[in-house]
Amino acid sequence: DDDDDDEHQTDPGPQAAAEASMDTAEHPKQRKKPKRKRRHKNQLMYSEEMEAAPADLAENWAVLACPLGRRTLVVSSEGDTCVYLNNGYRLNHFPSQLPAGHRKNMTKAKEFCVLDCVFEEATRTFHVLDILCWRAHPVMDSDFEFRSFWLQSKFEEEPRTAVRSSINPFVFRPVPRFACTPQTVLQCFSPPLPYDIDSLIFYHKQGIYHRGRSPLVLRLKPEKVSAVLGLAVPLPARRPPIRLSGSGDADGMDSSEDRIRLKPSLLPG
C-alpha cells in the first residue's frame, strides 16, 4: 500500500520550483542596516543646580560665565576637526588650527585633541569650557585647577586657533575662569562681555572631569544669583540668539539629533 501511495504522488516539476524561487526573489528578507556605534556618546560632564552656596565656596571653587549656545564635544584628529552632540551624533566637520585639526597641522599619526565647548552660532565661535585631551595627553583625571592651567597655556601656544581663516573657519576661545569671590561674580556680569551669559558655572578646584552629572560642578542662572549668593547682579540683556533647531541651553542634557550643518561658507569675511 505504501508503494501505491508513492506512485500516485505528483512530482511538482521544474516549473513549480521556478515559481517558488521567483516568489522568494520578489519578497526578500528585509535586512536592517547595522547601527553605527557612537563612540563619542555621553562624554560630556554636566552640572547640578546650585540650591545653596557651599560652605567652602570662596576657598575651593572657581567660577566662569558660561556662554549662551550649544554644548558640543570637539575632536581634532587625523587632519580633521569633528563636532559631536552629547548623544554621539556628528554635527559637522571642518579644518581647524587645533593640533591634528587639518592635514597640514599633523606632526604625529596618533595625535588628537578633545575639548568641551559651547558653540555660539551668531559669532561662529567655540567657547572652550574644559579640556579632556591635548596632543594625545589625557587630562580628565587631573583636577580642575590643572586642567584650567593646561587649557590656557596650550591655547596661548596656538594663537591661530582664535583667528578665522580658510583653514580655521570657526574660532576657539577658552572661557575665562576666576577664583570665587563676590568681586569676581560681579565681574562676570560687567560689560563688555563678548557673549551672552547663559549661567554661572562653579567648578570645585579638586574635581576631575567626570562624564555625566557631577556634584562638583554647580550651575546658577543669573536670576537666582541674588537669592542663592546674596549678591545683587544686573540681569544680562541678551541679543536675539540665532539658535540651532531643537537646541536647549548651554548646559542642558541634549538628546535631539539636529541635521543642521555649521557651514564655514556662512562665515562673514
Size of the chain in residues: 269
Separation CA 175–CA 190 (nearest Å): 15
pTM for the model stands at 0.77
Query: Can you read off the three cell numbers belonging to residue 139?
Result: 587630562
The greatest distance separating any two alpha carbons of the chain, rounded to the nearest whole angstrom, comes to 106
- Summarised one tens digit per residue, pLDDT across range 97-113 is 999 999 877 776 688 99
pLDDT at residue 255, as a whole number: 32
* pLDDT tens-digit profile, the chain (269 residues): 544 444 444 455 545 544 444 444 445 556 666 666 788 899 999 999 999 999 999 999 999 999 999 999 999 999 999 999 999 999 999 999 999 999 877 776 688 999 999 999 999 999 999 999 999 999 999 999 999 999 999 999 999 999 999 999 999 999 999 999 999 999 888 877 889 999 999 999 999 999 999 999 999 999 999 999 999 988 776 665 444 433 444 654 333 333 333 433 332 22
pLDDT at residue 105, as a whole number: 75
pLDDT at residue 245, as a whole number: 38
- Summarised one tens digit per residue, pLDDT across range 160-204 is 999 999 999 999 999 999 999 999 999 888 877 889 999 999 999
| Angle at CA of residue 52, ends 50 and 57, nearest 5° | 85
Instruction: For the beta carbon of residue 251, count every other beta carbon within 10 angstroms.
Output: 21
Q: Is 77 left (phi over 0), alpha (psi -120 to 50) or beta?
A: beta
pLDDT at residue 159, as a whole number: 96
